[in-house]
Amino acid sequence: MSLYLIGDLQGCDAALARLLEKIDFSPSKDTLYLLGDLVNRGPDSLAVLRRLAGLNHAAQCILGNHDLHALAVWQGVRAARRNDTLQALINAHDREDLLDWLRHRPLAIRAHGWLMVHAGVLPQWTPKQTLALASEVESVLREPDFRMFLESMYGNAPDAWRNDLTGPDRLRVIVNALTRLRFCTNDGVMDFEANGSADNAPAGLTPWFDVSHRATSSQPIAFGHWSTLVPKNQASGHQLSMMHNNTLPLDTGCVWGGCLTAAKLGNSAGEFELIQVKCEQASKPGC
């Protein structure tokens, strides 16, 4: 049995097919953990969801911001954006089954010694609290009236966690942290404008994983979302093979001309081997 953590797909089904072939994936023996943004911006979100839903328990998928956006477009809560590539999925004969499957995915998973999220974890959240807060959003997404949640999901405020938050504000902070977070202050105030590399943090901001007092610092965390975290000319397996502050970034910008990356987990906690394939849009000579 082999276990793999895989970064953002964003509709790149052909790259996923090549990666599964390269690792000789067997759904009867192996398990994939996909770190969110399964759909959008890439060429075939429909094929991605059909493939992953068909793998049943062999594919454990986390929701990312693009996945939540796809649900909002499906429900008519949000109009498709200029760069979206969701139309084939929205028009598909099996869209109801596929998008209903998507809305039942979690926002965080803790398994095999790893905490897995799409974007980040606020400094004051422990691993246990992170999972509990994720489950609050998961619960409302799985309700028959989930459209009401989607209508209140968007927005940048509140931009910091408080234990006394309730209702839409509480759920919005949880969603924004788990699916959009990159930079924050040392007090956990989130920024949603900066999206460059970690080396170019705006004044007063820090990559979420560099906050010194982070309550998850002893917990290995795998995440995606941040394709510019490592410059494209350095985003090879060699540069990514070392974890940073006990976190492993796995979005290597497949949809933007990078590679699709999987981490094959080893027998010891925090041990892994990186495997990469080119994406359809790849402009680099190799991965």
How sure is the predictor about 275, in pLDDT bands with cuts at 50, 70 and 90? very high
**Contact in structure between 113 and 107 (CB atoms under 8 Å):** no
Domains defined for the chain, CATH in brackets: 3-278 (3.60.21.10)
Task: Please give the average per-residue pLDDT across 190-217, as a whole number.
Answer: 92
pLDDT at 230 over 70: no
Q: What is the pLDDT of residues 133-192, one digit of tens each?
A: 999 999 999 999 999 999 999 999 999 999 999 999 999 999 999 999 999 999 999 999
pLDDT at 268 over 50: yes
Q: Count Cα neighbours of 179 within 13 Å in the Cβ-side half-sphere.
A: 27
> For residue 241, what pLDDT is reported?
52
pLDDT at 240 over 70: no
Please provide residue 233's backbone torsions phi and psi, each rounded to the nearest 5 degrees.
-75, 0
